[in-house]
Amino acid sequence: MRRPTLADVAAEAGVSVALVSIVMRGAPGAGAATRERVLEVARRLDYRPDTRARLLRSGRSQLLGVMFDVRHPFHVDVLTGLYDAAGRAGYQLTLSAVTPRRDERTAVAELLDDRCEALVLFSPELPAAELAALAASRPVVAMMRTVRRRDVDVVRTDDALGSRLAVDHLVGLGHTRIAHIDGGARHGSAERRRGYEEAMQGHGLTSYRKIIPGGSGEDDGARAAAVLLDELPTAVTVFNDLSATGLLDVVRRRGVRVPEELSVVGYDDSSFSRLGHIDLTTVAQDIGRMTTDAVTRAVDRIEARAVATRDIVVPPRLVVRGTTGKGSQHR
């Protein structure tokens, strides 16, 4: 169905296109009766001003291009916060997804075709040099990833601190045999692994350190669980919540009671981790602050404002739920 235009409203209301434009912009120049007649026709025809076309004519799009991965539920949670932050700043979002059959370069190319004024990229896997090349033409904000390039802005969580919070919590419950399932080559994995190792060393538990290869998906957690079961610790920290759900499914099917026999801590505080049948203790990334910082930084770059630092690091917090409990070293 064809979208109604200014000309359609003008013809139906019996006025000029210029006068309709004045009414729709709320500008002076139209009498009260005429203004009401034009607005009534616009409502009846379901006419909506094409704000993007108007902005493009002015040389602006007011669009922030967002790349996210449909395979990661946490990205959907971050999108929700990003829409709120963009709305407060007077910007709109245009989205481009990474899927199992659609890579990051394709997703980014679509955003460039949409004439976005800045790019906000969720956990990008693109090489730093490619991100820097993109930043040569428009601001680029990488979220949830470290990028050591001066021309790329970063908004991320202090992942090492997050892992330390998880280990501190478990040690406080009496656990010593604490394992860690890492995220493989995913960004943030090295930092979370380092935080685990530092915390174990700080508590004098170096001899109990055990790192099991994992990844970011549910299947990765399930595979890691099979290894974990060969020599079951009393507690485990997991790279992210999705991987933790895969682990929980396997260990529970094998008759391991959580948290009585195994305490589990995830990472992200994804929305599904709060469901009653999961009830996952996890390290929460501060979505509200991260998304506000990402939009603010993108807009600051668009407006050529001075910024204090390129790398914005947001502290996480521990959220205690039902998958952690007191440890017994005699299990």
In a domain, residue 321? The reply is no
Residue 301 sits in the same domain as residue 183: no
Do 145 and 194 fall within a single domain?
A: no
pLDDT in tens, 249-290: 999 999 999 999 999 999 999 999 999 999 999 999 999 999
pTM exceeds 0.85 for this model: no
Q: Residue 207: what are its φ and ψ, rounded to 5°? A: -70, -15
* Chain segment 213-238, per-residue pLDDT in tens: 999 999 999 999 999 999 999 999 99
Judgement on whether residues 75 and 22 belong to the same structural domain of the protein:
no
Residues 28-81: tens digit of each pLDDT: 878 888 888 888 888 888 887 765 555 545 456 789 999 999 999 999 999 999
d(CA 148, CA 108): 20
In a domain? residue 223 = yes
Res 209: pLDDT: 96
Q: Tell me the CATH number at 86.
A: 3.40.50.2300
Q: Are residues 82 and 147 in the same domain?
A: yes
Do residues 169 and 212 both lie within one domain?
Answer: yes
Query: Does residue 163 belong to any structural domain of this protein?
Result: yes
Rounded Cα distance between 41 and 217, Å, is 52
Domain-located, residue 169 = yes
Residue 37 belongs to domain spanning: 6-49
CA distance linking residue 166 with residue 263, whole number of Å: 11
Task: Give residue for tokens 């059959």.
Answer: 101
**What torsion do the CA atoms of 42, 46, 51, 53 make, to the nearest 10 degrees?**
-100
In a domain, 55, yes or no: no
* pLDDT average, residue stretch 106-123: 94
What Å distances lie between residue 247 and 17, 163, 214, 277, CA to CA? 63, 18, 10, 14
Residue 56 forms part of a structural domain: no
Side chain identity at residue 309, one-letter code: T
> Which residue matches tokens 């309709």?
20
Q: How far apart are CA 159 and CA 313, in angstroms?
A: 9
Q: Which helix (H) or strand (E) segment is 283 a member of?
A: strand 281-284
Q: Are residues 114 and 253 in the same domain?
A: no
State whether 173 and 197 are in the same domain: yes
In a domain? residue 327? no
Answer whether residue 134 shows pLDDT above 50: yes
The pLDDT of residue 331 is above 50: no
CB 91 within 8 A of CB 295: yes
Tell me if 142 sits within 8 A of 124, measured CB to CB. yes
Q: Is 315 helix (H, G, I), strand (E, B) or coil?
A: coil
- Same domain, yes or no: 165 and 277: yes
In a domain? residue 325? no
Half-sphere exposure of 160 (CA within 13 A, CB side): 10
pLDDT at 105 over 60: yes
Query: In total, how many domains does the chain have?
Result: 3
Digit-coded pLDDT (tens) for 150-186: 999 999 999 999 999 999 999 999 999 999 999 998 8
Chain centre to alpha carbon of residue 59: 29
Instruction: Based on the fold, state whether residues 278 and 164 are members of the same structural domain.
Output: yes
Taking CA atoms, 136 is separated from 109, 132, 139, 312, in Å, by 15, 6, 8, 20
Mean model confidence pLDDT for the chain:
92
Whether residue 88 sits in one domain with residue 12: no
154 in the same domain as 100: yes
- Which residues are paired to 241 by β-bridges? none
List the CATH number of the domain containing 30.
Answer: 1.10.260.40
206 and 229 together in one domain: yes
Secondary element (H or E) of residue 154: strand 153-157
**pLDDT > 90 fraction of the chain, expressed in percent and rounded:** 76
